[in-house]
Structure formats: C-alpha cells, structure tokens
Structure 1
C-alpha cells in the first residue's frame, strides 16, 4: 500500500482485481412509512475486492446496516444490483457470515455447541465441523472455555464465540454490524487486534459497519464515508497503513492521524464515536 493517505471515490474494483467479492451497482433503497416515503440509500456503487477489509462509517440512519442487508440478500434494492462473486443477489445468501452487535448466543448451549450450531443448520459433516471449530477456538484464544456457558463468559469472549460461529463454514464474505459497540473500551481494542489478526490469517473478505473512526481506520484497507440519509458515498479513503499493524504503533503513525482527521472533517464532528 502507499504510505500517503489518498482519498478517492471508487466505483470500480480496487487494485485491479478481476472479480470483486462484493459488487454494489447504482443501488437505491426506498420504502414507505405510514406518514411518508423514505429514501434510505441513493445511487450507491461500491466494489470490494477478494480478501479486502472495508469499513463503513457515517451518521446514524444513513443506511450502513441497510447496505449489509442488501449484500446478505435480506433486503432487495429498489433499483440497481448487488452481486456476490459475480452472482446477482436475489434472496437470502447462506454462504456469507454475519456478526451482529449482540452475540445472540443460546444460553443453554456451551461455547463450542453455540459455534457448532452453524454446522447443524448447514448439515456440515460432523468431523469437518468439529475440526474447524477447534481451529477457530484456538485462533480466537477461547481454549479452556469451550464448555463454558454464555453467562460464564465476558462480553468479549461472547463476541469471539459469535465470530467463530460466523466463520465456521469458511464464508467468502463476512458482514459485521457494529460487533464491538457494546464492549468497554479496553475489550474493544483487544477485539480489534484479534479481528485484524484473524482476517489476515483467514483471507476472508470483510465488510464492517462501525461508528468508531479509529476502529475503522485501524482495521480496514479502505474506509467508506457515507452521507446523512439518503445515504450516499461521500468519499472512500485508502488508509495507507502497513498490512501488519501493531495497535499502539499504528495509532502513532501520521497516516492514521491524517485518515482519522479527514474522516472527522467529512462527518463534521470532532469525535464520532471514538
């Protein structure tokens, strides 16, 4: 990556990738309430390359989560098209992973059995699923807590279980909707470091919604800055940081300061969730 921070509006596939993992082409989302018609997204186009980490930031209600639902096939665009690995999204996609703000674990199942719930729903071969679960448990530092129940786990550990569950079937695309928003600041930092390492280890394409500018810049290759509703893409920032990122060292880099300051300026705020 370049060492300087470059700002650009990207409508094509970044870095010359032949086929984007996610393609969003001229998408509008409109819906009707009791009192009025609402345009949630307007003219949104974005390509996310295979293995890329892209973060979405913007004001509350600007359509960030709506974009994730479009990619997941949980919502259909009013106009435009969404594609996953070149295939048009026509309904709910079962090949993706999805992590929400709340871990949403089943209280009567252990950590391991919560992870393996994904395998049961997908009818994965038992031996394959257990081996993959063990791999993810080791990758996320959950060893020794495999048999613990959700009430015995901290918030950060619960989110690690949810992340393992989402990655169990090795999805090509992982969608994350403010996954660390409910955690305390220290745990959130630790989860940022863990997520970045796991992303590098797995090569999964990640699309993350966050209200934290610092989180977005630390984790992502590119940060998509959205406007207030109707949501449009204001700018896309290539953060220009090294692929391997020590947390404290990254926070002190001039590229980090430049990118976060620029995004704050775009959002018209001095903090925006940091």
Structure 2
C-alpha cells in the first residue's frame, strides 16, 4: 500500500517523462532573526495524468512545493522539472487554484473565466467555446452572467476552477481550494473534481488538510513531516478512478489508507 521515503518516485513515472519531477529539493528562508529550512531532501515524480494529494501539518512546506512547480519560488538546492523542462521562472503551462476564488467583483462569472484568455491572448472563438464547455462541465449553466456576490462560495470556486482550466493546462495545482467551504459543498465539489479530472486527463497536485478529501481524490497521497518538511511516506490509493462519494468512504481500502495517513500525522495532524 505504501512506499517508504527512499522510494518517493512513482513507479508509474519510471521510464517515461514525468509531468512533474522534484529532485532532492531544499528551501531555506532568511528572516531577521534566523534562517528557516522549510523543505529538505524532497524528491517526487508525478506521472502524466496522475492525481497526487499532499497532506501534512501546517507550516510543513506543502504550499511551498506548489509554488516551486509553478516557478514562483526557486529551490535553494535541487531541481524541479515540468514535463522534462527545468523550472527556472513562472510557468505559463500550469493552472493554479487557490483557497479563495479571487474573482473580480465587477465581472460576471463568464467574464471572470475569460480573464485568463485575455491575459494569455487566446483566440477569441476558441476561448468562448472552451468557456461554454467548462461552464457546462462544472454545473454553472444559468449563472454565466451572475456577478460574484450573487454566487455561493462553491459556485465561486467552480468559476475559479474554470478559469484555471481554460487554457487546457497539462498540470493543475490546487492549494486547499475547498478548505473554506461548508462540508456539504466540499463533498459536492470533490465529486465534481473527480469527474473533471477523469474527463480532462489533467495532472493534478492537490494540497489539503483533509484526509478524507486526499484519499477520495488521489491516486497517491504524499504525507509530509513537520518543518523542515520531508516526505514521510507515499501511499497508493487502490481504488477505481471513478468514485461515488459515500460508497467510496465506506470501502475498507479507503479506511486503511486514511488510518495510515492519520497514524503518520499523529493526533490532530489533519482535519476532515
């Protein structure tokens, strides 16, 4: 079920170009009072089309990992590669979804999605067709012209997801995108995310504090240690790609993986 820290590279990615390759990375920050090591000796391969969730205590460097893949932060040592290319600056071939939707209040749902097209100078016809496709895929039909304040928190996150997927990125980074939502909405969006991932084939890296969310959505779960963050264990999730929510949570395979993650994190290490 699980892989030790020394075998942190995916067997699925071996022998082929990984979508994401993090090789012996460390990140150190200098503050006014001291040096802080956020990450050390982190190595991880993510295969094309794989869904990997990252869990760990607050402050262990989960979000820092995503920022390195996006090219927003450089590792102090080690290398990060995206589809075989060394990441040495901001990448334009990724999508990024944050905890807050960060929508422009004066733009409709459709126009917030199309903001991505404007920034990337996508052809107008292609952008409009892709927007319509994503609106239907995420259940936003009928709310295309609604302003953000007219949308629920879950709908706002759907708009943010559409915006991140508009340019069909091969890699989607998600930093606790459902953490601020109520439990029922979060479950609904977990189901939607599983379907969208299966339909698009996008490689996904998800940071979450929810053990249940990680196990329900991912092919593999990366469990990190306290700061300085290292990979304690990588756990395979032996469940079919298509997953109904309640029946999946009742499966013994789900319970076994969730129990192991909680054991690694310790009491109170993660919340559901």
**TM-score, length of structure 2 as denominator length:** 0.97
263-272 vs 134-143, which moves further: 263-272
Q: Aligned-pair distance for 1:95?
A: 1.1
Corresponding residue to 2:266 among 265, 268, 274: 268
Kept in 1: contact 2:57–2:269 (CA 8 A):
no
- Aligned-partner SS, 2:80: strand
Corresponding residue to 2:243 among 242, 245, 248: 245
CA distance in 2, matches of 1:240, 1:269: 24
1:22-60 deviation per Cα after TM superposition (whole angstroms, max 9, x unaligned): 000000000100110000000000000000000000000
- Aligned-partner SS, 1:14: coil
Name the count of aligned residue pairs.
Answer: 270
Q: Aligned-pair distance for 1:8?
A: 3.8
CA distance in 1, matches of 2:185, 2:15: 35
1:186-223 deviation per Cα after TM superposition (whole angstroms, max 9, x unaligned): 00000000001000000000000000000000000000
Corresponding residue to 2:106 among 99, 105, 108: 108
- Aligned-partner SS, 2:223: strand
1:78-130 deviation per Cα after TM superposition (whole angstroms, max 9, x unaligned): 00000000000000001100000000000000000000000000000000000
CA distance in 2, matches of 1:177, 1:231: 16
Corresponding residue to 1:205 among 203, 215, 218: 203
Q: Aligned-pair distance for 1:18?
A: 0.6
Kept in 1: contact 2:134–2:166 (CA 8 A):
yes
Structure-1 residue corresponding to 2:23: 25
Structure-2 residue corresponding to 1:165: 163
Q: Aligned-pair distance for 1:7?
A: 3.9
Please provide the CA RMSD for this pair: 1.0
CA distance in 2, matches of 1:177, 1:11: 21
Corresponding residue to 1:54 among 31, 52, 55: 52
Measured at CA, do residues 17 and 255 of structure 1 come closer, stay the same or move farther in structure 2, by a change above 3 Å?
farther
Q: Aligned-pair distance for 1:12?
A: 2.8
Structure-2 residue corresponding to 1:193: 191
Kept in 2: contact 1:17–1:49 (CA 8 A):
no
- The answer to whether 1:64 aligns with 2:45 is no
Q: Aligned-pair distance for 1:270?
A: 5.3
Q: Aligned-pair distance for 1:6?
A: 3.5
Which runs of 5 or more residues in structure 2 are unaligned? Answer: none
- Aligned-partner SS, 2:221: strand
Q: Aligned-pair distance for 1:11?
A: 3.2
Q: Aligned-pair distance for 1:272?
A: 1.8
Structure-1 residue corresponding to 2:9: 12
Q: Aligned-pair distance for 1:243?
A: 1.3
Which runs of 5 or more residues in structure 1 are unaligned? Answer: none
Corresponding residue to 1:220 among 218, 224, 232: 218
**TM-score, length of structure 1 as denominator length:** 0.97
1:218-270 deviation per Cα after TM superposition (whole angstroms, max 9, x unaligned): 00000000000000000000011111111011000000000000000000025
